[in-house]
Amino acid sequence: MNTSDKQLLRLLGLAVMYVFAAPVLLIQWAGKLRKELAAIERVRTGTMACPYCQFANPLNRMATCARCRATEPSSVLRCSFCKATFKTITCDQCGATLRVV
């Protein structure tokens, strides 16, 4: 086999690998999309129900940033002073940590 035949076989093997991997990648992408859409819906509604005590925790309220300690009336997921972002909140009723995003 000469060099051009080896390159052709290498490209053909790569193409076959992508064809076989496509369904798996599509399933992974669909799962990630489902999680992202659920997170967007939680943020859009403005509240997050605790799965343990069913308390509706507001996502927009007077909050103190854990990073810079600034207190402001806004989202508990982002600080407008230091630009820190947070993916979890603490339930106001039972104290459980809740993953929002």
Q: What is the pLDDT of residues 18-30, one digit of tens each?
A: 999 999 999 999 9
Confidence (pTM):
0.59
* 17: phi then psi, degrees, rounded to nearest 5: -60, -45
What is the pLDDT at residue 52?
94
CA dist 73 and 69 (Å) reads 13
* Angle, CA 97 vertex, CA 92 and CA 101 arms, to 5°: 105
Residues 4 and 36 in one domain: yes
Residues 51 and 99 in one domain: yes
Give residue 55's domain range: 46-101
CA dist 57 and 71 (Å) reads 18
Q: What average pLDDT does range 59-68 have in this prediction? A: 88
What is the CB neighbour count within 10 angstroms for residue 16?
10
What is the pLDDT at residue 42?
78
End-to-end Cα spacing for the chain = 54
Residues 6 and 31 in one domain: yes
Residues 13 and 51 in one domain: no
Q: Which tokens go with 85? A: 């972002």
Segment 30-59, tens digit of pLDDT: 999 998 898 788 778 888 899 999 999 998
Count of structural domains within the chain: 2
What is the pLDDT at residue 78?
87
